[in-house]
């Protein structure tokens, strides 16, 4: 029998505090999840699609989530299975990683990205520590999506030199972020 | 903290090739081998990806508005022109592996999250909505639509009405002629935002958002995906406000997507739009004109706009298919079904719409039914007669819940009839086949299901829709069980009856009295969609336009 509103219990969007917390956790981990999927060899747009599918499953399984456990680990596990599922629909030549490498990367990425917020914050600070030339190259590469060859023209240098410059800038950023996080952690 | 591994240079080179899309098979194998060698290599790789991902995000919004150069999209796969070309393009996409992923993404994130995100974007503006009572748009179609809260009652909407579409597609038609297709999850408000306290003396260039000059020709998309088709003099100037910008149409077709963080994608498929935004009170509003094939990305704060490195406009496909269908089939836009008769049979034979009250015949009783109470007919002279005809000649729907005591003989459910002449009715035949019959002068026309469609002593929901273009469709429990494309209309006769044949038969034993229960009989002007029919089955006739799909508990 229908109730007065024609509703069936359980069909309405949940609104209690527990659900709100769950949704907040989902929202807080969106960028992290996209990066996690990207680290498993998927392009950005594909990663977005897979995270959307992950979100759907996270929501459907919200009642299975134990509040005392790690939401990030829970979300990674579901996202990982989405990646595996996606791989099955891809031809072999489209797959960047073998299953063995994928599994290892998934473990490392889950650990590495757990505190992605710290990484994001420090990266912004580290960008300011780059040399002006490195900053320019990063800006051209990412802001204006300029090809290495075009950057080389602007800097009157060779594409290989620009690639090297980009490499040094990226590795310097990684070292900087690691250093800053270590300092902040008191290590 | 791990140190950068010794083979970092080679790993970096392979990573660079990968993100530039230049990784060869040999390099791919080398990358796999390197990553298998050590955890340090895996950590470096993850760090590089994380950095690349974050740098892309950081720099995605740094382009100044002033010298912004919007790239042209290659829309050949999307086929801007309408007709077969578009259909072919859709089919090509549907076979594309990426489409599978995109189709899954259509479902998107769950209702709760979507609503939460939408609310997050929405609350600061709610008081700015100018609510009116006059209808400015109608919900004319939906597919697999799940709503949070009430769907538009009867389809009509006034300015300020908020739609929370959890999933599925929904189509709105404005009185100005604008067609808007929404894809859930989406939070859309009919009618735009009115700037609180704005006066004609205000310097419009310093306002953070557009003043909507015509709420009847505007909307606010707080979250989700939207496709708008704007054509005709009344429609021109149609404006969609976004959390971070506004899109004013200049006669065109455009698609929008507002992401969870409030950032927006704007894609112009044909014609041109003006895209404007201002991040805060102190920043002059900036405006750019976008034309066919251009796409833009507006950052969450609205302060910056940039072209996307990879413009993914696959999300448009499902909405464009619907738009194409609407434009090619004007009848589809008439699908604004309204309930015109409803006998709930909750203790009486009244029509809840008030137009067609029934009178009890025999000793018809009322007992616990499928939705509230049901009429109980003993098969021996019981019936309900109205003496009127609620059935339109065409484009209508009739539905009911039935529970026959047995299916050993022909029994009349509901409808009108003048033998050998007029009417339309539903009946159950021997061995449980369900049939819709249109009596005619030359011969009766009917459509019937297979036997055992209706089981004795079980509730079955039965319905028929009659469309001037698609003919008759017969449904059992929401599933199509028979159809006849030639049954496009019926001849009216004012003797709508429930539980027996309306007109006098040659002998009393051919009244085909119903023996069992009948509940929730309803008639709609308009052909209900599959989603609406499912709502009728799941939620009851009066909730045909509500979107919360749920199953009735088994009795």
Contacts for B443-450: CB closer than 8 Å, 24+ residues apart: B445/B484, B445/B486, B445/B487, B446/B484, B447/B472, B447/B474, B447/B482, B447/B483, B447/B484, B447/B487, B448/B474, B448/B482, B449/B474, B449/B476, B449/B481, B449/B482, B450/B481
Which of the following CATH numbers is that of domain A9-114: 1.10.1740, 3.40.50, 1.10.287, 2.60.120?
1.10.1740
Query: Residue B188's closest CA among B319, B324, B280, B338?
Result: B319
Give the residue from B313, B333, B353 where a domain finishes. B333
Asked if the bond preceding A183 is cis, omega within 30° of 0, the reply is no
> Is A108 part of the contact surface with chain B (CB cutoff 8 Å)?
yes
- B320 shares its domain with B456: no
Range of the domain at B55: 8-60
Whether residues A1 and B372 touch (CB distance < 8 A) is answered with: yes
Q: Report residue B335's pLDDT band, with 50, 70 and 90 as the boundaries.
A: low
Contact B367, B373 (CB under 8 A): yes
Q: How far apart are CA A171 and CA A185, in angstroms?
A: 21
Give the count of alpha carbons within 13 A of B22, CB side only.
8
Partners of A14 on chain B (C-beta within 8 Å) are: 112
Q: Which residue has the higher pLDDT, B58 or B471?
A: B471
Q: How far apart are CA B315 and CA B305, in angstroms?
A: 20
With respect to residue B358, please indicate whether it lies within any of the assigned structural domains: yes
Name the fold adopted by A115-187.
Arc Repressor Mutant, subunit A (1.10.10)
With respect to residue B553, please indicate whether it lies within any of the assigned structural domains: no
| Chain B closest-CA separation from residue A21 CA (Å) | 11
Q: What is the mean pLDDT of residues B218-225?
A: 87
Name the β-bridge partners of B174.
B137
**Among the ranges given (A42-46, B217-221, B491-495, B544-548), the one the predictor scored with the smallest mean pLDDT:** B544-548
Nearest to A8 among B52, B372, B551 (CB): B551
The per-residue pLDDT for range B480-490, each reduced to its tens digit, is 888 887 888 89
| Chain A closest-CA separation from residue B513 CA (Å) | 27
Q: What residue has token string 């290590």?
A: A187
Q: Which residue has the higher pLDDT, B353 or B130?
A: B353
> Is A74 part of the contact surface with chain B (CB cutoff 8 Å)?
no
Q: What is the mean pLDDT of residues A22-51?
A: 86
Q: Which residue has the higher pLDDT, B514 or B432?
A: B514
Residues 7..46 of A with a Cβ closer than 8 Å to B: which? Answer: 7-8, 10-14, 19-20, 23, 26-27, 30-31, 34-35, 38-39, 41, 43-46
Pick from A4, A10, A37, A44 the residue to mutate for testing the B interface (most B CBs within 10 Å).
A44
The per-residue pLDDT for range B137-156, each reduced to its tens digit, is 888 777 777 777 666 655 67
Q: How far apart are CA B526 and CA B467, in angstroms?
A: 8
Most confident of A68-72, A136-140, B236-240: A68-72
Q: Report residue B389's pLDDT band, with 50, 70 and 90 as the boundaries.
A: very high
Model confidence at B318: pLDDT above 70? no
**Among the ranges given (B238-247, B265-274, B329-338, B366-375), the one the predictor scored with the smallest mean pLDDT:** B329-338
- B342 shares its domain with B314: no
Partners of B25 on chain A (C-beta within 8 Å) are: 93
Most confident of A155-159, A171-175, B7-11, B528-532: A171-175
What pLDDT does A25 receive? Answer: 82
Sign of CA dihedral B302, B307, B310, B314: positive
Q: Report residue B456's pLDDT band, with 50, 70 and 90 as the boundaries.
A: very high
Contact B459, B402 (CB under 8 A): yes
Among residues of chain B, what percentage have pLDDT more than 70? 68
- B408 shares its domain with B471: yes
- Enumerate the CATH 1.10.10.10 domain ranges in chain A, comma separated: 115-187
Number of domains in chain B: 3
Q: What is the mean pLDDT of residues B504-531?
A: 86
Give the residue from B301, B333, B365 where a domain finishes. B333
| Chain B closest-CA separation from residue A74 CA (Å) | 17
Q: Report residue A26's pLDDT band, with 50, 70 and 90 as the boundaries.
A: confident
With respect to residue B72, please indicate whether it lies within any of the assigned structural domains: no
The per-residue pLDDT for range B390-446, each reduced to its tens digit, is 999 988 999 999 999 999 888 999 999 987 788 999 999 888 889 999 987 666 788
Q: What residue has token string 């009572």?
A: B133
Whether residues A7 and B12 touch (CB distance < 8 A) is answered with: no
Model confidence at B129: pLDDT above 60? no
Whether residues A170 and B12 touch (CB distance < 8 A) is answered with: yes
B443 burial type by CB count under 10 A (0-12 exposed, 13-18 middle, 19+ buried): exposed
What pLDDT does B197 receive? Answer: 34
Name the β-bridge partners of B437.
B425, B446
With respect to residue B67, please indicate whether it lies within any of the assigned structural domains: no
Contact B292, B278 (CB under 8 A): no
Identify the CATH number of the domain in which residue B520 sits: 2.60.120.200
- B384 shares its domain with B449: yes
With respect to residue B320, please indicate whether it lies within any of the assigned structural domains: yes
- B140 shares its domain with B260: yes
ipTM of the complex: 0.89
Q: Which residue has the higher pLDDT, B280 or B252?
A: B252
Give one DSSP letter per residue of A79-94, joined into a string: HHHHHHHHHHTS-GGG
What pLDDT does A155 receive? Answer: 76
With respect to residue B181, please indicate whether it lies within any of the assigned structural domains: yes
- Enumerate the CATH 1.10.1740 domain ranges in chain A, comma separated: 9-114
Beta-strand relationship, B218-229 and B239-241: parallel
Model confidence at B286: pLDDT above 70? no
User: Structure tokens of B1?
Assistant: 């903290």
Beta-strand relationship, B286-291 and B295-298: unpaired
Q: How far apart are CA B435 and CA B198, in angstroms?
A: 62
What pLDDT does A159 receive? Answer: 86
B169: helix, coil or strand?
strand
The per-residue pLDDT for range A68-119, each reduced to its tens digit, is 889 999 999 999 999 999 999 888 878 999 999 999 999 999 999 998 888 8
What pLDDT does A120 receive? Answer: 83
The per-residue pLDDT for range B58-115, each reduced to its tens digit, is 765 432 222 223 333 344 433 332 222 222 222 222 222 222 222 222 223 334 344 3
Q: How far apart are CA B26 and CA B29, in angstroms?
A: 5
| Chain B closest-CA separation from residue A64 CA (Å) | 16
Q: Which residue has the higher pLDDT, B399 or B473?
A: B399
Closest residue, chain B, to A166 (C-alpha) = B16
Identify the CATH number of the domain in which residue B297 sits: 2.60.120.1440
Whether residues A171 and B111 touch (CB distance < 8 A) is answered with: no
Q: How far apart are CA B103 and CA B101, in angstroms?
A: 5
- B475 shares its domain with B510: yes
Give one DSSP letter per residue of A14-33, joined into a string: P-SHHHHHHHHHHHHTHHHH
Query: Residue B257's closest CA among B58, B94, B108, B110?
Result: B108
Q: For chains A and B, what is the number of CB pairs under 8 angstroms?
A: 193
User: Structure tokens of B69?
Assistant: 């150069």
Pick from A23, A91, A138 the residue to mutate for testing the B interface (most B CBs within 10 Å).
A23
- B48 shares its domain with B29: yes
SS (H, E, C) B302-367: CCCEECCCCCCCCCHHHHHHHHHHHHHCHHHHCCCCEEEEEECCCCCCCECCCCCCCEEECCCEEE
Whether residues A39 and B35 touch (CB distance < 8 A) is answered with: no
Give the residue from B308, B333, B358 where a domain finishes. B333
């Amino acid at each position: 029998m229908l109730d007065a509103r024609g509703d069936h219990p359980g069909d309405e969007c949940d609104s209690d505090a527990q659900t709100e917390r769950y949704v907040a956790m989902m929202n807080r981990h969106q960028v992290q999840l996209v990066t996690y999927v990207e680290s498993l060899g998927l392009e950005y747009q594909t990663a977005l699609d897979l995270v959307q599918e992950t979100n759907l499953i996270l929501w459907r399984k919200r009642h299975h989530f134990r509040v005392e456990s790690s939401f990030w680990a829970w979300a990674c596990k579901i996202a990982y299975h989405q990646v595996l599922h996606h791989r099955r629909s891809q031809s072999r030549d489209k797959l960047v990683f073998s299953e063995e490498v994928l599994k290892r990367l998934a473990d490392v990425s889950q650990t590495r990205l757990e505190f992605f917020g710290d990484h994001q914050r420090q990266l912004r600070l580290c960008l300011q520590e780059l040399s002006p030339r490195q900053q320019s190259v990063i800006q051209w590469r990412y802001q204006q999506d300029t090809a290495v060859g075009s950057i080389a023209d602007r800097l009157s240098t060779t594409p290989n030199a620009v690639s090297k410059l980009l490499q040094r800038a990226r590795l310097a950023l990684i070292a900087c972020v690691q250093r800053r996080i270590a300092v902040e952690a008191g290590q | 903290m791990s140190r950068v591994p010794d083979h970092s240079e080679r790993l970096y080179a392979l990573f660079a090739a990968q993100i530039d899309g230049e990784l060869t098979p040999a390099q791919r194998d080398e990358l796999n081998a390197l990553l298998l060698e050590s955890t340090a290599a895996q950590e470096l790789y993850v760090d590089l990806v994380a950095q690349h991902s974050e740098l892309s995000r950081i720099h995605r919004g740094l382009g100044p508005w002033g010298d912004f150069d919007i790239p042209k999209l290659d829309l050949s796969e999307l086929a801007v022109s309408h007709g077969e070309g578009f259909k072919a393009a859709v089919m090509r996409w549907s076979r594309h592996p990426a489409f599978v992923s995109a189709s899954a993404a259509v479902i998107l994130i769950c209702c709760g999250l979507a609503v939460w995100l939408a609310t997050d974007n929405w609350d600061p503006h709610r008081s700015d909505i100018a609510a009116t009572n006059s209808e400015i748009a109608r919900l004319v179609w939906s597919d697999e639509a799940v709503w949070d809260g009430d769907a538009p009652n009867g389809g009509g909407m006034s300015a300020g009405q908020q739609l929370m579409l959890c999933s599925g597609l929904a189509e709105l038609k404005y009185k100005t002629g604008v067609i808007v297709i929404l894809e859930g999850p989406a939070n859309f408000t009919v009618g735009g935002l009115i700037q609180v306290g704005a006066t004609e003396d205000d310097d419009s260039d310093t306002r953070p958002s557009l003043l909507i000059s015509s709420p009847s020709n505007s909307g606010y998309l707080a979250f989700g995906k939207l496709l708008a088709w704007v054509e005709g003099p009344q429609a021109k100037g149609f404006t969609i406000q976004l959390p971070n910008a506004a899109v004013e149409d200049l006669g065109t077709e455009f698609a929008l997507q507002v992401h969870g963080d409030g950032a927006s994608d704007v894609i112009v498929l044909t014609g041109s739009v003006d895209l404007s935004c201002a991040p805060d009170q102190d920043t002059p509003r900036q405006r750019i004109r976008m034309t066919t094939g251009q796409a833009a990305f507006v950052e969450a704060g609205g302060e910056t706009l940039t072209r996307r490195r990879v413009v993914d406009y696959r999300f448009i496909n499902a909405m464009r298919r619907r738009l194409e269908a609407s434009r090619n089939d004007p009848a589809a836009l008439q699908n604004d079904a309204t309930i015109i008769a409803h006998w709930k049979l909750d203790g009486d034979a009244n029509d809840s719409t008030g137009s067609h009250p029934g009178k009890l015949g025999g000793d018809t009783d009322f007992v616990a039914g499928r939705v509230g109470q049901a009429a109980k007919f003993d098969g021996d002279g019981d019936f309900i007669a109205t003496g009127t005809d609620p059935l339109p000649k065409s484009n209508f729907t009739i539905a009911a819940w039935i529970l026959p005591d047995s299916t050993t003989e022909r029994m009349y459910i509901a409808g009108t009839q003048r033998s050998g002449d007029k009417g339309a009715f539903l009946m159950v035949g021997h061995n449980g086949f369900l049939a819709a019959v249109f009596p005619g002068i030359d011969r009766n026309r009917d459509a019937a299901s297979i036997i055992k469609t209706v089981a004795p002593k079980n509730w079955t929901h039965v319905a028929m829709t009659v469309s001037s273009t698609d003919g008759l469709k017969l449904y059992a429990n929401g599933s199509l069980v028979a159809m006849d494309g030639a049954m496009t209309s019926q001849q009216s006769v004012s003797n709508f009856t429930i539980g027996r044949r309306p007109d006098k038969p040659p002998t009393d034993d051919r009244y085909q009295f119903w023996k069992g229960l009948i509940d929730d009989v309803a008639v709609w002007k308009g052909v209900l969609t599959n989603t609406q029919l499912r709502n009728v089955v799941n939620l009851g006739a009066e909730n045909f336009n509500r979107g919360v799909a749920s199953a009735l508990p088994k009795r």
